[in-house]
Amino acid sequence: MTEEATAGAQANQAVRERLLAEGLRLFTSKGYAGTTVREIVEAAGVTKPVLYYYFNSKEGIYLELMEGAYTIFGERMRELVGKSGSARDRMEILCLGIFDAFLEFIDVARLIYAIYFGPAQGAPQFEHDQAFDWMLDAVRTVVAEGIASGEFRPGDPADMTWVIIGCLNVCMEEQLCRNDPRINRDDTKRMLALILDGISRGDAK
């Protein structure tokens, strides 16, 4: 690729990323329904045909934001579940990895929560539940393997899974709902340790 072509590709990518960033900002601040194509292109410093070229429509920007974030999160989940070590270590790595990913994509998460829990805004259909399902399956997998290996005490794996997920969700939503979160990553790690102490066998703590 020539230098000119490389520069052109980088410029195109920058325009595309700018449209996504402004779309996300406006969807989050004004709502999906309340945001117009005109507002997005003006904020991004481009014209409507440029937006249509890259995304076809406002709906295209929304879907790209969702698909991009979910693709990365899915890949991150597979990496986290595949980590080696004891069940307790793997659970800590998994939960803190999910917490870190949530913070990394907190602006997207804020939009997802608004769409999912708020009034209908006419946004394109998207399977938002899949991210939570991935989290649930990942935690359940490590719990089941910990019980099978004898690292976690015998018990209902579903109960253990929901307790861990409940703690993790509260810690993540605290970041979402407050400008000055009262729970940080270290607090999350410490609270998870309380749960893991409870489900671990005495000789496996």
Model confidence pLDDT, tens digit, residues 135-163: 999 999 999 999 999 999 999 999 999 99
Residues ≥6 apart with Cβ < 8 Å to 63: 124, 126
| Amino acid at residue number 204 | A
Distance between CA atoms of 197 and 205, rounded to whole angstroms?
6
Confidence of residue 9 (pLDDT cuts 50, 70, 90): very low
1-56: in CATH 1.10.10.60? yes
Given a contact cutoff of 8 angstroms between Cβ atoms, the answer to whether 167 and 96 are in contact is: no
Single out the residue of 85, 96, 181 nearest to residue 135, CA to CA.
Answer: 96
Task: State if pTM tops 0.95.
Answer: no
What residues form DSSP beta bridges with 200? 152
> How confident is the model over 40-83, as pLDDT tens digits?
999 999 999 999 999 999 999 999 999 999 999 999 999 998 89
DSSP 203: G
110-137: burial string, b at 16+ Cβ within 10 Å, e else: bbbebbeeeeeeebeebeeeebeebbbe
65-204: in CATH 1.10.357.10? yes
Distance between CA atoms of 4 and 133, rounded to whole angstroms?
45
Tokens of 6: 């490389």
What residues form DSSP beta bridges with 152? 200
Give the residue extent of every domain in the chain: 1-56, 65-204
Given a contact cutoff of 8 angstroms between Cβ atoms, the answer to whether 197 and 164 are in contact is: no
Contacts 24+ apart (CB under 8 A), 130-137: 130/70, 131/70, 131/73, 134/73, 134/74, 134/77, 135/77, 135/98, 135/165, 135/168, 136/161, 136/165
